[in-house]
Amino acid sequence: MNQPNLNQGNDIALKLRTVGLRATGARVAILESLATDRRHPTAEMVHETLRQRFPSLSMSTVYATIDSLLEHGLIRQVSGRSGRLRVDGTPLDHDHAVCRSCGDVFDIDPRVIDRPAQPLELANGLRVVNMSIEYEVVCRDCGGK
């Protein structure tokens, strides 16, 4: 994992406060970890990453924090092959590709692939607030060409 920027903790605390969340140590640590972790981790992976620095951090705190960050739009949920919750802390707009063999998740920049325009509304009066595309792929390591 990358070394954190000294100002990153302050930036993350500001992001949390901007959406109405207190900048607790656990929230800052988890959001900071997700901002630098490109693996699209599960809650268990986040806990494993942080437990050496924060031995008192419980799995229940990680789950509750991830739920809160998702609810407030600071991170996004990503599908994985296993069906387990995976999250993405990358704030830039992008899509995902999920390998159907190994389950790895890859970021796809929507500017490099023609993407349909986001509709304003769907049937039954559903207002579209965001759109992301997920590609099912076979990655290079699993034999994709």
Q: What is the CA angle 21-79-99, rounded to 5?
A: 140
pLDDT tens-digit profile of 53-103?
Answer: 999 999 999 999 999 999 999 999 887 666 778 999 987 788 999 898 888
CATH superfamily of 92-142: Ferric-uptake regulator, C-terminal dimerisarion domain (3.30.1490.190)
Beta partners for 99? 137
Is residue 76 within a helix (H) or strand (E), and if so which, with residue range?
Answer: strand 76-78
Q: Find the distance separating the first CA and the last CA of the chain, reported in whole Å.
A: 29
- Into which CATH architecture does domain 8-78 fall? Orthogonal Bundle (1.10)
Overall size of the chain counted in residues = 145
Mean pLDDT computed over every residue of the chain? 88
